[in-house]
Structure 1
């Protein structure tokens, strides 16, 4: 399986996928399920998502 986001930062992945505004809204609303769903949709795995959630003070 090819990762079309390989080499991109999280922000770049969100921008290219057109989900950056939706992601920012989910973070602001502290909608953890939505944040995780968006991060998975840009091909991040659980090991990558956990530190992001911690950094955003969502967990």
Structure 2
């Protein structure tokens, strides 16, 4: 299951998008940990998204 699928099925995708759009690294990591990602995997994922947000589709269109 992809990260987006995990967030979507957990009802957290909008919260993750908001955290990422705001550059809130800590909150985005917390949300990924809620969908059973380890801290190191969550940190790596969030850092990649924040480093190159357009590549991952951020900010999301309203």
Q: What TM-score results when the alignment is normalised by the length of structure 2?
A: 0.72
Q: Which runs of 4+ in 1 moved over 2 A?
A: none
What are structure 2's unaligned runs of at least 5 residues? 52-62
What do you get for the CA RMSD once the two structures are aligned? 1.3
Distance 1:22 1:54 in 2: 17
Q: What TM-score results when the alignment is normalised by the length of structure 1?
A: 0.76
Higher Rg of the two aligned structures: 1
How many pairs does the alignment contain? 51
Q: Relative to total residues, which structure has the larger helix share, 1 or 2? A: 2
2:34 is aligned with 1:51: no
2:2 is aligned with 1:9: yes
2:22 is aligned with 1:29: yes
